[in-house]
Every structure is written in structure tokens, then in C-alpha cells.
Chains A and B, each alone.
Chain A
Amino acid sequence: MGGSIMASTINADTTNGVVVTSDTSGDLELQSGGTTKAKITSSGLQNASGSAITSQAGANLIINGNMMIDQRDSTATINGTGVTYNVDRWLGRGETSEGVFTLAQDTTSPADFTNSLKATVTTIDDASPMWSTSSYRIQQMVEGYNIEELNWGTSDAQSVTLSFWVRSSVTGTFGGSVANGDYNRFNPFSYTISSANTWEYKTVTIAGDTSGTWVTNNALGLRLNFSLGAGADRLGTAGTWTSSVLEGVTGQVNPIQTINSTFYITGVQLEVGTTATPFEHLHYGQQLALCQRYYYKWNTTSSNNWVAWAMAANTTNMYGHVPFPTTMRNNPSSIEYSGLGWWLGGAVTAFSAVAIAESGTDSCTMNFTSTGLTAQKMYAVLPNGSTNYIAFNSEL
């Protein structure tokens, strides 16, 4: 015997128990106490707002939103001379700027987190009003591959919801924006910090952009800006897409104009839909691998931990192969190194230069320059100082 119950709403009622009602909508709603919690429609499983419920894994478009990975392990000074990365995937920018702020990983954090990204203003921008094109911001640049599901730039553009924890010594209305890689599509957002030096949780929903170019390859797809101060030309109305360069909202506070002001942020999540879900805590190793797609730093304090074997081509140059732990976004555009040398018994000799001879996404062949080498001999490349590392940069 088989049978069926025509049900469009199943409500776990607090008075009557399970109540089933029916209609011909073709949808099934699951309710608790008369409030819809989930739906099954012709489009699949949805939440109460109508957004698709999918696997949680990979829901966050932001990498290292909890500021846990910090391969550079340093304090960055942002003084208007371009892009400076700090905690993995996060950078600071200053433009047309007199003010200076620092960025560093910090252990001040809300419950469920152990780290935050801390900005501290060390030199104020005292222009009044601030120069119209001045801008100070914390930013993450998202790879195009990771935003394909947004369908931005098409009529199927999906809304996204940004959620984060923030704390500042300055209170008031703060601003930020979402922008495309070409930096000609912008949507500012605002949020309010009510209490000084207190962690507050914020959510912002941003409508998808049906216009503009949003790349979906390994180039720069989307930028997320948190403004620490901006001039009038960089500020606009929250919630409106425009082609004007906007990095904050009109009337926002500018922490860059308060000496020693602080701004902490963590738990940053950007996800498809109109509802903020709990922060996606990845395993440390998973998150490190995601970060190493953009920046990989090999470092050690042990002189017995070698970087590579290298073969001398002549008396001044040797070549060695350095593999990466994960495929990088693109061939590394630069390296940074410290304290490396070669050894063939006896003392370690420092290199006078290290450069990429052949660049790839899975490994690089390195050129090490020194003197006194013998062609066709193999040498160990190893640490030669108190700070020893080589880092490969494939950031956006």
C-alpha cells in the first residue's frame, strides 16, 4: 500500500504540534512556530529568504577572513607608496596621502577567534577637509575564479552578504565598498560602530551588479575595501552601483585623522545570498594552502634545513629547483629572500643575488649568484643568517 500527504507547509507548532497545510504552489515550506526556516521549490533547497542552501564548504569568498595565517609575520607601514601586504591576502593602501598607518596581526579578538588584523594610525592626515582623492583602506583582492557563482555583470547577478567582527577606538558610521578588478564598478556600504574599543558584529547585504566586467579567471575579480579615511571624491551613497571610484560612504568617520586610533577586524565572510551564516572556520592547513596559492614563504631557523640542491653552470652562477606546496595563481612575479648561501663542506658563502631563472606555477628554477664555484658541481643551498627565507609572490 502506498500513499501520500499533500503538504505545502509543515509547521512544528508550539501549541498544536505538527500542523500540515496544503496548497497547489508546488513548494514545500518547513516552519517552526509559524516561521519559515527552509523551502523546497522547483529550484531546490532554499533558506527562508529564498537563497539556495548549498554545501557550507567554500561558501566564503574571502580567504583568511579570520586573520590566522601570517606568513610575512611583520608589521606593514602604509604610507601612500602603493600596495603593502601584511596578514595573508590582506593589504593596505594609501593614495594621495599624508597619513600613515600600520597593519599587523593581533591576538585581540572576539569569542570563536584567536586573531585579528589591527590598523594603527601613526601619522594623521590633518587636511581639513581631507584632500578630495585621498584614500586609506584595508583591502582583499579576490581571484576571478572564486566569484564565478556571483554571475555579476549579467542579469543573473546574485546578492552577496558581508559579515565581520570589528572594533575601533573611533565610533560612528564607517564605510567600505565592493569593486571589480578593473576598478570601474563600485558599490559602497556602511556600518556603525557604537561603542569604542568593543567588538561588534556587522552584516551588510549587497545587491549583485548586472553591469560591468567581472572577470572569472585567475586575474583580479573583486575587491573588498574597508575605508580608514577618504576624501569627498572617493565617498558616495551606500547600496548604489556606480562607475565612479568610491571606497566609502559620504559622512563616514575617518580614523586616519585621529592619532593612535585603532581599527581591528576579523571573521570577514562574503557569501552568496541575503543571509549571513556563521563564519566558516577552515582547518589551519586548508587555509594555509589557500593562502600559498598567492604567497609562499619557505623559512627556517635550522642551518640543516636546506632550500635546494643547485648545480653550478660556471664560476659565478648555479641553478636549483624549488617546488611549491600548492599550485600558485600565476607564475610568481617576484621573490623576497634573506640569509641564503651555498655550502660544499666548510663555511657557508652568502649569495650576492638570487633570481628566478624559470618561473612556473608549481615550481621555479632559481639562479643563485656567488663566486668561486666549479662548473658541474652540486651545492647545497641553505640558511646563512639569523633570518632565513625565500618567498614567492603571486598576489593579485
Chain B
Amino acid sequence: MTYKTITTESVDGLTQEHIIIDNDDGSFTSFPVNKTNQTYIAWVEENNKPKEAEESE
């Protein structure tokens, strides 16, 4: 599976990075880069880390 990092910007101007994982079956999994997010925590525990964001606002 491959993944990329993107950055979104909320209505009030706050930016947030997200991991987008290509599940190799036509689907994608997406979650924020946030140390309190259980999906992100589990992903990091599998020795993954965010790449530099490909797209930003």
C-alpha cells in the first residue's frame, strides 16, 4: 500500500495534515496527522511516518 500526505484548511483558516492510504483495491483510507487520533497512533506504531505534504492550501 502507498500513501501520501495532504494539507487541508478549515473555514477559520486552521491547517491540518492528513494521511491518504491507497488500499490497492480502489479504496482509500484517510485520517488526520494527530497524536490523539487512534487511527494515526496505530499507523505510527506500525513504523510509518507522514511524508511532506504533496498538496497544500
Instruction: Give A contacts to B, CB under 8 Å.
Output: 81-83, 313-314, 316-317, 319, 333-339, 352-359, 365, 367, 369, 385, 387, 389, 393
In the complex, chain B residues whose CB is within 8 Å of the CB of A358:
10-11
The answer to whether A317 and B31 have CB atoms under 8 Å apart is no
A356 — nearest CB in chain B belongs to which residue? B32
Contact B32 A355 (CB under 8 A): yes
Contacts of A317 in B (CB 8 A): 8-9, 57
Instruction: Enumerate chain A residues within 8 angstroms of B8, measured Cβ to Cβ.
Output: 317, 355, 357, 367, 369
Q: Are A338 and B16 in contact (CB under 8 A)?
A: no
Q: Which residues of A contact B23 (CB under 8 A)?
A: 336
**Please, could you name 8 A-B residue pairs with CB atoms under 8 Å apart, sorted by A?**
A82-B42, A313-B57, A334-B31, A353-B18, A354-B20, A358-B10, A359-B32, A385-B26
Which chain B residues have a beta carbon within 8 Å of chain A's beta carbons? Answer: 4, 6, 8-11, 16, 18, 20, 23, 26-32, 37-40, 42, 46, 55, 57
Please state if B55 and A369 are interface contacts (CB–CB under 8 Å).
yes
Q: Which residues of B contact A385 (CB under 8 A)?
A: 26
Closest to A335 in B: B30
Alpha-carbon distance between A333 and B26 when the two chains are bound, in angstroms: 21
Q: How many Å lie between the Cα of A356 and that of B37 in the bound state? A: 12
Q: Are B30 and A356 in contact (CB under 8 A)?
A: yes
Cβ of A387 and Cβ of B30 under 8 Å apart? no
Question: Are B9 and A338 in touch, CB under 8 angstroms?
Answer: no
Collect the chain A residues with CB atoms within 8 Å of residue B30's CB. 334-337, 353-356
Other-chain residue from B31, B32, B39, B55 in contact with A316 (beta carbon distance below 8 A)? B55
User: Which residues of A have CB within 8 Å of B11?
Assistant: 319, 357-358, 365
B6→A355 contact, CB < 8 A: yes
Query: Taking the nearest CB of chain B, how far is it from the CB of A246, in angstroms?
Result: 23
Q: Which residue of B is nearest A389, CB measured?
A: B27
Residues on the B chain within 8 Å of A82, using CB: 42, 46
A299 to nearest B CB, angstroms? Answer: 11
Bound Cα distance A339, B26 (Å): 7
Chain A contacts for B57, CB-based, 8 A: 313-314, 316-317
Asked whether A336 lies within 8 Å of B28 as measured between CB atoms, the reply is: yes
* A313 engages B28 (CB within 8 Å): no
On whether the beta carbons of B28 and A354 are closer than 8 Å, the reply is yes
- Contact, CB under 8 Å: A337 / B27: yes
Q: Which residue of B lies closest to A81 (CB)?
A: B46
Contacts of A334 in B (CB 8 A): 29-31, 37, 39
Question: Which residue of chain A has the shortest Cβ distance to B31 in the bound complex?
Answer: A334
Asked if A353 meets B39 with Cβ closer than 8 Å, knowing A82-B46, A337-B28, the reply is no
CB of B26 within 8 A of CB of A338, answer yes
A335 CB, nearest partner CB in chain B, Å:
5
CB–CB A338/B28 < 8 A? yes
Asked if residues B27 and A336 are in contact (CB atoms below 8 Å), the reply is yes
A82-B46, A333-B39, A334-B30 given as contacts; is B10 within 8 A of A353 (CB)? Answer: no
Rounded to whole angstroms, the CA-CA distance of A387 and B23 in the bound complex is 14
Q: Which of B30, B38, B57 has the most CB of A within 10 A?
A: B30
**A354 CA / B27 CA spacing, docked (Å):** 11
B residues within 8 A CB of A369? 6, 8, 55
Most-contacted residue by chain A among B27, B37, B39 (CB, 10 A) = B27
Contact A333 B38 (CB under 8 A): yes
* A357 CB contacts on chain B under 8 angstroms: 8, 10-11, 16
- Is A353 in contact with B26, judged by CB distance below 8 angstroms? no
Q: How far is the CA of A372 from the CA of B41 in the complex (A)?
A: 34
* B46 engages A335 (CB within 8 Å): no
Hey, which chain A residues are within 8 Å of B9, CB to CB?
313, 317
Q: Are B18 and A355 in contact (CB under 8 A)?
A: yes
In the docked arrangement, what's the CA distance between A339 and B39, Å?
22
Write out the residue numbers on chain A whose beta carbons fall within 8 Å of the beta carbon of B6. 353, 355, 369
Question: CB distance B20 to A355 under 8 Å?
Answer: yes
* CA of A385 to CA of B30, assembled, Å: 19
In the A-B complex, list the 7 residue pairs whose CB atoms are closest, starting with the nearest.
A334-B31, A338-B27, A334-B39, A355-B18, A367-B8, A333-B39, A355-B30
